[in-house]
Amino acid sequence: MQHIFTDTRVLDARARETYGLTEDIMMENAAAALEQAVLAHTGSSTDVHLNRAAVLVLAGGGNNGADGYALARRLASKDIGVTVCAVAEPKSPLCTVQKERAARLGVRFISVEELDEYLEETSIDLKVIADCMFGSGFHGSLPAEAAAAAFAANACRDAYKLACDIPSGLDGSGNAEGAVFHADETVTMGALKLALFSDRAKDAAGHITLAGLGVSRTAFENGEAAAELLEEKDLRLPHRPRQQVHKGSFGHVAVVTGEKAGAAVIAGTAALNFGAGLVTLVHGGRSGVQVPFELMAAEAFPEGTSAVALGMGLGGGESTADAYCGWLREHKDVPCVLDADICRSAAIRQLLEERSRGTVLTPHPREFAALLAGCRLGTFSVQDVLSRRRELMQRFCSAFPEAVLLVKGANTFIGTQRGGEPGMRLYIQTLGTNALAKAGSGDVLSGLTAALLAQGYVPLEAAAAASLAHALAARRIRTDYALTPSALIAQVAELGQAE
């Protein structure tokens, strides 16, 4: 896991004070990291150019722009045609100094009005566009000239696009009110920023590279992190180290079957393929449920149920939800996964008030908005959830300590607040792909989570591991449109062979 911070400017200031660094020294380290990223994409001597490899730097008037001028100066000594498009006049002292240094080395400057002509002239030679307009302190919408530069840059499909610290147009929460620079890579300085992991940033930030500023990462990250970034190496698969075991050794998952029985079948199949020893579909007397031969079926929760998955395709109205939630309230020691329709139920508030411990909720944004309303925590739109996800998750986790909340999206956020702790622990998982935007994907995740709960994983670990397995399995699907729940489950079963 890697630490993620809300605002690294505090860390910048602390590093300067603690280690005697100056802003100029730290800026040179930032520019050096940008230079390395640029040079990796300027091509080789055998590439075809009309003149020579060209790099365009979009520079603002603050310290992000100063990074851009420093980058241009460093590139000027290479056999690269570097040009700076100034979208604003220098305002910070360092930006003024860095522009003067670049000018003394003969770096070419152009205005936004000259940008279209420049892009046309260098259409073959242009290899990299570096966005150094606005940094992590930005808020609001881009000024007209910066927005025009971002639009023009985004339209250049053949040039590699590089953002300095954070793509211009994203604010400190990773939201945007207008134009945003779309980078192939973001070189972020000092430490990872929370803004880079919003859903809006997923298409804007590209690959995220962390650059040091003159001290080690451990020394720089001398502060309280806002979240932890889950990585592939954090996945702990439910391998079976002992040989003297039986099916009961690995738990019994009960998946409630509702109006759309296929959702429960998908979840149950996922649970069986992720280590659960037994899986039963609980149909409540509903007739016509087609049960795959490898799963069992029962009218009620079987004796020895060790984890429950409830909500996928449930439907059935409030009486159905009340009945199943009543069983869970009576069996507080049985962990459960709550998803989909149950998040919209009026019964969920009482359930969470009586047994938040051992409960994992896995809503998508619309379901989370319904969950907040049903729990009397406020009325919010889907857009509110997308733009204020961390804040609203904190609200929920404060109201129901020990519950684990996994909110799905382009990036997955997993939060919980333990009793007595002042704030929410937040994990962010970014490995999922757009292939998962398919009916049934969420049912697979619920089944994976339930399987791990049945095998003794604590709820937070179960949610994190299931989310990672879900995402990594999706990445094994070769096309971005062909994923199906069955194909996803098959790839989950292959993860253990890749270790």
Claim to verify: residue 180 and residue 299 sit in the same structural domain:
no
Q: Among residues 168, 202, 226, which one ends one of the domains? A: 226
Please return the burial class of 31, using the count of CB atoms within 10 Å of its CB with bins 0-12, 13-18 and 19+. Answer: buried
pLDDT of residue 352: 95
pLDDT of residue 47: 59
How far apart, in whole angstroms, are the C-alpha atoms of residue 309 and residue 264?
8
Task: Kindly list the strands in the beta sheet with 160-164, ordered across the sheet, starting from the edge strand earlier in the chain.
Answer: 108-111, 81-86, 54-59, 126-132, 160-164, 185-189, 207-211
Tokens encoding 177? 């009110």
Assign 3-class secondary structure to 24-78.
HHHHHHHHHHHHHHHHCCCCCCCCCCCCCCEEEEEECCCHHHHHHHHHHHHHHCC
Q: What CATH code is carried by the domain that includes residue 174? A: 3.40.50.10260
Q: What's the number of domains the chain is made of?
A: 2
Q: Please write the tens of the pLDDT for every residue from 298-325.
A: 999 999 999 999 999 998 778 888 999 9
Mean pLDDT of 211-231: 91
Least confident piece of the model among 213-222, 226-235, 326-335: 213-222
pLDDT of residue 74: 94
Q: Among residues 226, 257, 292, which one ends one of the domains? A: 226
Mean pLDDT of 186-207: 94
pLDDT at 48 over 60: no
27 torsion bin: left (phi>0), alpha (psi -120 to 50), beta (else)? alpha
Claim to verify: residue 277 and residue 214 sit in the same structural domain:
no
pLDDT of residue 498: 43
Mean pLDDT of 78-107: 92
pLDDT of residue 45: 53
Claim to verify: residue 186 and residue 248 sit in the same structural domain:
no
Q: Among residues 207, 226, 245, which one ends one of the domains? A: 226
Claim to verify: residue 149 and residue 247 sit in the same structural domain:
no
Q: What CATH code is carried by the domain that includes residue 245? A: 3.40.1190.20
Claim to verify: residue 241 and residue 210 sit in the same structural domain:
no
- Identify whether the C-beta of residue 176 lies closer than 8 Å to the C-beta of residue 383: no
pLDDT at 85 over 50: yes
Assign 3-class secondary structure to 105-157.
CCCEEEEHHHHHHHHHHCCCCEEEEEEECCCCCCCCCCCHHHHHHHHHHHCCC
Q: Please write the tens of the pLDDT for every residue from 247-291.
A: 888 999 999 998 899 999 999 999 999 999 999 999 887 777 788
User: In the predicted model, what is the mean pLDDT of the chain?
Assistant: 92
Claim to verify: residue 216 and residue 259 sit in the same structural domain:
no
Which range of residues forms the domain containing residue 120? Answer: 2-226
Claim to verify: residue 210 and residue 332 sit in the same structural domain:
no
How far apart, in whole angstroms, are the C-alpha atoms of residue 449 and residue 445?
6
Mean pLDDT of 350-379: 95
Claim to verify: residue 243 and residue 163 sit in the same structural domain:
no
17 Cβ neighbours under 8 A, 6+ residues apart: none
pLDDT at 499 over 80: no
DSSP 165-230: SS-TT--TTS--SS-----SEEEEESSEEGGGGSHHHHHHH-EEEEE--SS-HHHH--S--SEEE-
pLDDT of residue 286: 78
pLDDT of residue 104: 92
Claim to verify: residue 160 and residue 28 sit in the same structural domain:
yes
pTM exceeding 0.75: yes
87 forms beta bridges with none
Claim to verify: residue 490 and residue 445 sit in the same structural domain:
yes
Q: Please write the tens of the pLDDT for every residue from 122-155.
A: 888 899 999 999 988 888 899 999 999 999 999 9
Q: Please write the tens of the pLDDT for every residue from 158-187.
A: 999 999 999 999 998 899 889 999 999 999
Claim to verify: residue 123 and residue 23 sit in the same structural domain:
yes
Read off the pLDDT band of 51 (50, 70, 90). Answer: low
pLDDT of residue 289: 76
Please return the burial class of 402, using the count of CB atoms within 10 Å of its CB with bins 0-12, 13-18 and 19+. Answer: middle
Claim to verify: residue 149 and residue 130 sit in the same structural domain:
yes
